[in-house]
Structure 1
């Protein structure tokens, strides 16, 4: 992996992260407030599921090319 791939991935994450507050700011704010009220263990579970899903998707994308 070259640094340009890594930096491109980071840039894409920033673009995707910016979509929801741009397209639906009130919905995004409401979601963030509800997440702020969640227990830490629930947030950790969401994070773990997200990481596993992302790593699995990346594995399949990279192995098929």
Structure 2
């Protein structure tokens, strides 16, 4: 369980860096993303999940 909490903490840190350091660019990115079709957003999500799973497999081996 401590490992999971560590991973979640790192995710929050990484996810918070862009809006904290570059709020205007982050807002423009989010607005651009929101205007994309659902299929594109879904493909981005699946790609991120795939990359995360591959990285997890590499770290675990």
Q: Which residue of 1 aligns with 2:34?
A: 36
Q: Cα deviations across residues 19-46 of structure 1 (Å, max 9, x unaligned)?
A: 0001111110000001111111100000
Report how many residues are paired. 61
Cα distance in 1 for residues equivalent to 2:41 and 2:26: 16
Aligned: 1:9 with 2:7: yes
Q: Secondary structure of the residue that 1:38 maps to in structure 2?
A: coil
Distance 1:58 1:27 in 2: 30
For the aligned residues, what is the CA RMSD?
0.7
What is residue 53 of structure 1 aligned with on the other side? 51
Calculate the TM-score normalised by the size of structure 1. Answer: 0.89
Deviation at 1:7, TM superposition (A): 1.0
